[in-house]
Chain A
Amino acid sequence: MFDRRLLKNFDYQLLIIVLVICSYGLLVISSATRGDGAESFVYLQKQAISIGIGLFAILVIISIDYLDFYRLSWYLYAFNFVCLGLVLFIGREGGGSYRWIDLKVIDFQPSEMAKIIIIITLARLLVEQKERLANPVQLIPLFLHVLIPMILIFLQPDLGTALVFAAIFLGMLYMAGVPVKNLLIVICSGIAAFPLLWFRLMDYQKMRLIVFFNPDIDPLDQGYQLTQSMIAIGSGGLTGKGLFAGTQARLQFLPEHHTDFIFSVLGEELGFLGGVFLLFLYLLLIYRILKIASFSKDSFGSLICAGVATMLTFQILVNVGMTLSIMPVTGLPLPYMSYGGNSILMNMISIGFVLNVGMRRHKIQF
């Protein structure tokens, strides 16, 4: 199936880092869900299966040359548009928003898939328009390219994921060589558009933002989550209370303890050292992704890697920042750690693309 020369350039280190983080995640999920009785095992099992499927997806992705995706780009974009549109009509409701399409076996979350598709399609656009990026007016089609899926996701509503697209957009434009001045224009117009956005926000989303700036307003609801998360993490101290010994998670003071607030459980039970270890793994991961970006034989590959790196960095910053109360509550999962099949699968596929780029760094001579 593979050319031996391809396997020679396979970045085992990157895969190992991902698998270590995934295992770390399994460990913390098992602790976080311990109080949930028999369900705990179900969570672990499901997460492990998701990781397994993810690994298989990596295998599938790396067996196809990423340049084939360059050609498929517009089909992918169209497929993505249909899925994101569909979810607004036939989506399954959960927590006040429509994010999932019920595929009987699994709940499919198009917004997770949309991230990697936008990374690929935007990379192609950037490569095509490379010569014209210095002109700010030329950024408009790129902007629209990202804005369309962003709006569809925002309508679900899922503000957090929508913001990931803004981050990916800026990160990839920067790496593509767009002048910093033009990027600033984009950022400023985004900020200027915020008041318009505000009126479109659901009440709970507004509340999240208000509470973020003043947690005491609502100590029993949104503020409660932030406060309990800080208590969990702070009370962990240097070395933590020990795995399975965290009281905040076990006694249900922490909401969403195996999904969005998994880092709080980690902080409580494994302490500062456990938290810093995870952040170090993430840093290594992103470093390796950017390393592969720099080796890539073409800028399409580099930009895919840059997009994935931006996406991961942003999600880590927002998720961990949320548990530490330096970011608002947005409901973004922590990559490879949070429980959730869609997030695991899509993050694995993203890594698949990075590995793909890395494997095909040299032009192969037949």
Chain B
Amino acid sequence: MDKEMLRRTRIFIFVVILVFLLLVSRLAYLQIINYEYYWEKAEKNRLRILPITAPRGEIFDRQGRQLVTNRPGFTVSLVDLGSGYDDETIVRLAELLEMEEEEIQKKIDLQYYRRYLPVRLKMDVDFETVSKIAEHRLDLPGVVIEVQPIRYYVLNDFAAHVLGYLGEGTVAGTVIDFWNEAGYVYREGDLVGQAGLEMVWEPFLKGEDGGLQVEVNSTGQAIREFERVEPKPGANLFLTLDASLQIVVEEALHEAVRLQWEDNNFYAGEAGAVVIDPRNGKILAMASIPSYNPNTFSEDYTTLLQSSGRPLVNKTIEEHYPVGSVFKMVTGIAGLEEGVITSTERLYCGGRVTRFGATKSCFRGTAHGSLNIVQAIAKSCNIFFYELGLRVGIDDLANYAREFGFGQPTGLKDIFGEKGGIVASRKYKEQSFNEPWYPAETMDASIGQSFHSITLLQLANYVSMIANGGIHYRPYLVDRVVDSDGNVLMVAEPEVLHKMEVMDLNWEIIREGMKQVTMPGGTASRLANLPVKAAGKTGSAQVAGRGSDIPSHGFFVGYAPADNPEIALVVFIKYGGTGGASAVPVAEKILESYFADETAQESEESSLAIEKDLE
């Protein structure tokens, strides 16, 4: 080899060494400097978590009766056994599951890069189909039947507005912080509480999903199973609600509406009622009709949206109404407390009165003659309360209304959507209509008309306050939360939100009036025959701005036993006519049922006690 060639060979070797140094340094960069980065990527490549859905917490009533539970449902899924998905199997499955082949193919395609997950084709498949699939399992390679919990609402459409429902979908904006705080991360397709307790108590009900760690190959087929983390079931809710009372209430409301229809009053259709314990704010029943069935909610959804009576709206908290005469105790307490009337002072009712240029009459023009405040409540005399309201004045009247909790939500936190309603006042009228207050309007306001607009829960709280001497308890539905291991996570304590300062004597005067309402001669005299003495007040609220032929709203508020109140209630029949005719029969059924149950329980307890003594 000549000299030049030798020189060039040396340079050639030098270049080759440079090439190799380049490769070695790149190798060192990847394998030594960035080792951890790539190691993690390789692990992420091969390890996947198969989520195992946690069973959702159950819901029980105050007596431990199951209201919401999970029943096993069959889910038919398709698994890639290593050779892809069999076309013939897809054809057979489409026929068995009554699905389109394209639909199945679409579901498969959606999971193309997650083949370690079974492709869920159809949830909650009926038993007949499942047995057919099981029979032909040899012809259906890769088809698996999984048992998945399906939410089951034992009461169907009873208590639906309290319990709520589940749905797939994004987390509602209003509660997202609440859930994030509780540390929950939601995946697409997760079932999430959409209303009622299911929505607000979602973080407790949901539980913690478990998972199965699997090793997958590049096509996403699971090759090996590793660690399995069992899911932690959601916590159970124990409610203040009484399931049997709830059923009685709803059935009574349906009956009341049915009776209206029989009388050719087809305006009727919506109704609501709340039963509450005035000693602590526990809600025993909360009914809104028409209702819906959470078990079939997703199938019924479009029908529900179009159906009359707006079944999705909870009429006890999400709407407020003019309430009529049930308001009169506000005027009464205001008058007594402000000293503008005494228990003995009599006012004269001639059936008709003209003040400030406005002529107003008593109900159906009845002349009650001379009566005191107790009699005025018992007979629901408008003329008496017009006069009393004028003496009190709109400003003080509005203040007392607010003291009773009107004009703002009562503080129910266990379900969403509570409205605050309206208290008629100078300020309200100015702000809303830019007009001054007329004295004649004070007359309307003092009998619960005018601008007053009040929710049923507010009325329940109001009548509770009369019963318990002015204590505004926060109304609540969830009594305690118990996790799947039996640990009590939360116990609700009665919470006093406000105490109204009223002389005991004045409460007594008002209560006496309400007692006489349920006695012969009172507006709710049919309650006289109950096993316990009840007190109450009827109301028939005229609906402003509508034709005079439209029936008024029927109301009843009350509590029992009159001398030692255990329950307070409000009944509302929208466009039901007079409260006495439409709402009182419902109240009667509620009270009958409640106290029948209670006496039965007491006698049971006492007989148990006797048995013990005998032993």
* Chain B residues within an 8 Å CB radius of A295: 1
B37: nearest chain-A partner, CB-CB: A234
* Chain B residues within an 8 Å CB radius of A177: 4-5, 8
**Which of A230, A272, A313, A317 is B32 in contact with, Cβ under 8 Å?**
A272
Q: Does B34 have its Cβ within 8 Å of any Cβ on chain A?
A: yes
A295-323 contacts to B, CB under 8 A, are 295-296, 299, 302, 306, 309, 313, 316-317, 320-321
Between A177, A232, A234, A253, the greatest number of chain B beta carbons within 10 A of the residue's beta carbon is seen for: A234
Which of B16-24, B282-290, B529-537 lies at the interface?
Answer: B16-24
Taking a contact as CB atoms under 8 Å apart, the answer to whether A247 and B38 are in contact is no
* Chain A residues within an 8 Å CB radius of B30: 230, 233-234, 267, 324
Q: Report the bound CA distance from A234 to B45 in whole Å.
A: 13
Tell whether A237 pairs with B217 under 8 Å between CB atoms, given A247-B46, A324-B26.
no
**Which of A171, A232, A236, A272 is B12 in contact with, Cβ under 8 Å?**
A171
Q: Mark B555-581, 1 if CB is under 8 A from A, else 0.
A: 000000000000000000000000000
Nearest CB on B from A88, distance (A): 33
Tell whether A238 pairs with B26 under 8 Å between CB atoms, given A177-B5, A247-B46, A251-B216.
no
Q: Does B185 have its Cβ within 8 Å of any Cβ on chain A?
A: no
B217: nearest chain-A partner, CB-CB: A251
A239: nearest chain-B partner, CB-CB: B31
A230-262 contacts to B, CB under 8 A, are 230-238, 247-248, 250-253
* Chain B residues within an 8 Å CB radius of A299: 1-2, 5
Nearest CB on A from B335, distance (A): 79
Q: Does B13 have its Cβ within 8 Å of any Cβ on chain A?
A: yes
Q: Does A41 have its Cβ within 8 Å of any Cβ on chain B?
A: no
* Chain A residues within an 8 Å CB radius of B20: 279, 282-283
Q: Report the bound CA distance from A321 to B30 in whole Å.
A: 12
Q: Does B42 have its Cβ within 8 Å of any Cβ on chain A?
A: yes
Q: Report the bound CA distance from A345 to B348 in whole Å.
A: 124
Nearest CB on A from B406, distance (A): 62
Q: Mark B423-460, 1 if CB is under 8 A from A, else 0.
A: 00000000000000000000000000000000000000
Taking a contact as CB atoms under 8 Å apart, the answer to whether B24 and A175 are in contact is no
Q: Report the bound CA distance from A313 to B19 in whole Å.
A: 8
Q: Report the bound CA distance from A252 to B216 in whole Å.
A: 10
Q: Does B180 have its Cβ within 8 Å of any Cβ on chain A?
A: no
Which of A4-12, A207-215, A285-293 lies at the interface?
Answer: A285-293
> At the interface, is chain B mostly helix, strand, loop or mixed?
helix
Nearest CB on B from A130, distance (A): 10
A238: nearest chain-B partner, CB-CB: B32
**Which of A237, A253, A282 is B218 in contact with, Cβ under 8 Å?**
A253
Taking a contact as CB atoms under 8 Å apart, the answer to whether B216 and A309 are in contact is no
Q: Mark B467-486, 1 if CB is under 8 A from A, else 0.
A: 00000000000000000000
A171: nearest chain-B partner, CB-CB: B12
B33: nearest chain-A partner, CB-CB: A234
Taking a contact as CB atoms under 8 Å apart, the answer to whether B27 and A248 are in contact is no
A72-89 contacts to B, CB under 8 A, are none
Q: Mark B391-424, 1 if CB is under 8 A from A, else 0.
A: 0000000000000000000000000000000000
Q: Does A276 have its Cβ within 8 Å of any Cβ on chain B?
A: yes
* Chain A residues within an 8 Å CB radius of B9: 175, 290, 293-294, 306
Q: Does B35 have its Cβ within 8 Å of any Cβ on chain A?
A: yes
Q: Does A24 have its Cβ within 8 Å of any Cβ on chain B?
A: no
Q: Does A43 have its Cβ within 8 Å of any Cβ on chain B?
A: no
* Chain A residues within an 8 Å CB radius of B16: 283, 286-287, 290, 309, 313
Q: Report the bound CA distance from A253 to B1 in whole Å.
A: 49
* Chain A residues within an 8 Å CB radius of B1: 293-296, 299, 302
Q: Report the bound CA distance from A154 to B218 in whole Å.
A: 32
Q: Report the bound CA distance from A272 to B4 in whole Å.
A: 38
Nearest CB on B from A317, distance (A): 5
* Chain A residues within an 8 Å CB radius of B28: 272
Q: Does A70 have its Cβ within 8 Å of any Cβ on chain B?
A: no
Taking a contact as CB atoms under 8 Å apart, the answer to whether A253 and B45 are in contact is yes
* Chain A residues within an 8 Å CB radius of B35: 234-235, 237-238
Tell whether A175 pairs with B38 under 8 Å between CB atoms, given A283-B16, A317-B23.
no
Tell whether A235 pairs with B39 under 8 Å between CB atoms, given A251-B46, A294-B6, A324-B27.
yes
A302: nearest chain-B partner, CB-CB: B1
Nearest CB on B from A315, distance (A): 11
* Chain B residues within an 8 Å CB radius of A16: none
Taking a contact as CB atoms under 8 Å apart, the answer to whether A251 and B223 are in contact is yes
Q: Does A59 have its Cβ within 8 Å of any Cβ on chain B?
A: no
Tell whether A287 pairs with B13 under 8 Å between CB atoms, given A237-B35, A324-B26.
yes
Taking a contact as CB atoms under 8 Å apart, the answer to whether A248 and B17 are in contact is no
Taking a contact as CB atoms under 8 Å apart, the answer to whether B218 and A279 are in contact is no
Taking a contact as CB atoms under 8 Å apart, the answer to whether B41 and A235 are in contact is yes
Q: Does A151 have its Cβ within 8 Å of any Cβ on chain B?
A: no
Nearest CB on A from B602, distance (A): 70
Taking a contact as CB atoms under 8 Å apart, the answer to whether A324 and B23 are in contact is yes
**Which of A272, A290, A326 is B13 in contact with, Cβ under 8 Å?**
A290
Q: Does B215 have its Cβ within 8 Å of any Cβ on chain A?
A: yes
Taking a contact as CB atoms under 8 Å apart, the answer to whether A252 and B218 are in contact is yes
B513-569 contacts to A, CB under 8 A, are none
Taking a contact as CB atoms under 8 Å apart, the answer to whether A237 and B31 are in contact is yes
Tell whether A175 pairs with B42 under 8 Å between CB atoms, given A234-B37, A324-B23, A324-B30.
no
Nearest CB on B from A277, distance (A): 11
Q: Does B170 have its Cβ within 8 Å of any Cβ on chain A?
A: no
A255: nearest chain-B partner, CB-CB: B218
Nearest CB on A from B4, distance (A): 5
* Chain A residues within an 8 Å CB radius of B219: 252
* Chain B residues within an 8 Å CB radius of A294: 1, 5-6, 9
Q: Mark B103-118, 1 if CB is under 8 A from A, else 0.
A: 0000000000000000
Taking a contact as CB atoms under 8 Å apart, the answer to whether B38 and A235 are in contact is yes
* Chain A residues within an 8 Å CB radius of B45: 228, 231, 247-248, 251, 253
Q: Which residues of A contact B (CB under 8 A)?
A: 171, 174-175, 177, 228, 230-238, 247-248, 250-253, 267-268, 271-272, 275-276, 279, 282-283, 286-287, 290, 293-296, 299, 302, 306, 309, 313, 316-317, 320-321, 324, 326
10 contacts between A and B (CB under 8 A): A230-B30, A235-B41, A247-B45, A251-B215, A251-B216, A251-B223, A271-B31, A279-B20, A302-B1, A306-B9
Q: Which residues of B contact A (CB under 8 A)?
A: 1-2, 4-6, 8-9, 12-13, 16-17, 19-20, 22-24, 26-28, 30-32, 34-35, 37-39, 41-43, 45-46, 215-219, 223
* 10 nearest CB pairs, A to B: A234-B38, A235-B42, A251-B217, A252-B218, A234-B30, A272-B31, A253-B218, A237-B35, A235-B38, A235-B39
Known pairs A175-B8, A237-B31 / 4 extra A-B pairs, C-beta < 8 Å: A174-B8, A233-B38, A252-B217, A252-B219
